[in-house]
Structure 1
Amino acid sequence: MQTEPILVYNAPARVLHWLTAALLLIQFVIAWTMPDVHRDTKPVGLIAWHLGIGMVILLFVLIRFLWRSTHVVPPDVVTLPPALRAFARLTHRALYLLLIVVPMMGWANASSRGWPVSLFGVMPMPPLSPTGSALGHALGDWHRNLAWVLLALAVMHIGAALFHHFILRDGTLKRMLPPIEKP
């Protein structure tokens, strides 16, 4: 049981974390409910939303990297066995990597279809692959497959946070929550 005060992440880090998590959840719901993409599919409706949210997720992750590179991370509140600590570090790195790679693959796939991609619907982004690119089309398949890996890692991340909170009771989850003042 944790008895020392919990050192939390700063507010911008927490906000970026939870906004990214919320957008990722919305993105998966949209991906499951949008129509299948075929040769003549147009980027409208849910597909347009999927493209736009993907760009915002990519932006937030890049901002998180910048923020983290210029701000101190609070020290761990728990001592884990070395193998478990290494697994946690690997999982976090894989999450970050996929939060960048998956949207970029989707962007390249959209570009290969000649679809415009923009940030917030107002800032046009350059194409990542030429229209008709076989590689860009193939990246669409990789985008879908790696999105499933991203989902699995996110579920593992959530499960680990809940394990720390409810089983180990070590304060790990509280580091990413706003501090609660006790009366």
Structure 2
Amino acid sequence: MVENHSQKFVYSPVARGLHWLIAGLILAQFIIGWTMPDVHRDTLPTGEIAWHLSVGAAIVAAMVIRLIWRMTHTPDPAKLSPQLMFASKATHFLLYILLLAVPLAGWANASARGWMGKLLGMVPYPALASKGSPAGMALGDVHSVLAWVLLAGRFQG
């Protein structure tokens, strides 16, 4: 007899809502990031760049809410083999790491540039790096590379 491993986790409406909110924010972020001007030493955080900073902060906020929800409301377990269960949990863990690392690296880079962003254009958030910080400046490249890794991972398997 063949065991059926196709049953999936059953996520709550809140978890599904957060999933689609974050997916929509990430889609918007890629569109904004693709259309905004290149960032150079003298670039000011206006226009699309200001939107990019704000949407990035919204992604971090939504991810924090999503992680809190996930820790306090676990989905019903799926009937998966131990190997598939491990792969599923490892994939989710790595995805959560990327979904936090990408905007946090961008936030640190913005801080190193002296840019003060605002969540949804209203709530200022603190700097993650001091102005001119070499590490903060380098995180701009990390931000870009990890964003492409996140996008490429979306189209795998």
Match of 2:13 among 11, 18, 34: 11
Q: Tell me how far 1:81 sits from its aligned partner.
A: 6.5
Q: Tell me how far 1:10 sits from its aligned partner.
A: 1.1
- The answer for the alignment partner of 1:86 in structure 2 is 86
CA distance in 2, matches of 1:31, 1:96: 20
| TM-score, L = length of structure 1 | 0.77
- The answer for the alignment partner of 1:136 in structure 2 is 136
Task: State the percentage of identical aligned residues.
Answer: 52
CA distance in 1, matches of 2:129, 2:63: 22
**Which residue identity is paired with 2:76?**
P
Give aligned pairs, total.
152
**1:33-52 paired onto structure 2 within 5 Å:** 33-52=35-54
Q: Tell me how far 1:71 sits from its aligned partner.
A: 1.2
- The answer for the alignment partner of 1:30 in structure 2 is 32
- The answer for the alignment partner of 2:107 in structure 1 is 107
CA distance in 1, matches of 2:34, 2:64: 25
**Which residue identity is paired with 1:128?**
L
Matched, 1:54 2:56: yes
Deviations 1:68-95 (A, max 9, x none): 111131221x53461x443332221111
CA distance in 1, matches of 2:46, 2:118: 13
- The answer for the alignment partner of 2:149 in structure 1 is 149
Unaligned runs of 5+ in 2: none
RMSD (Å) for aligned C-alpha atoms = 1.9
The 8 Å contact of residues 9 and 75 in structure 2, kept in 1 or not, is answered as no
Asked which structure has the greater CA Rg, the reply is: 1
**Which residue identity is paired with 1:79?**
L
The 8 Å contact of residues 103 and 143 in structure 1, kept in 2 or not, is answered as yes
Matched, 1:69 2:81: no
**Which residue identity is paired with 2:80?**
T
| TM-score, L = length of structure 2 | 0.89
CA distance in 2, matches of 1:152, 1:87: 18
Report the secondary structure of 1:73's partner residue. Answer: coil
CA distance in 2, matches of 1:153, 1:92: 12
Q: Higher relative contact order by CA 8 Å / sep ≥ 6: 1 or 2?
A: 1
**Which residue identity is paired with 1:93?**
F
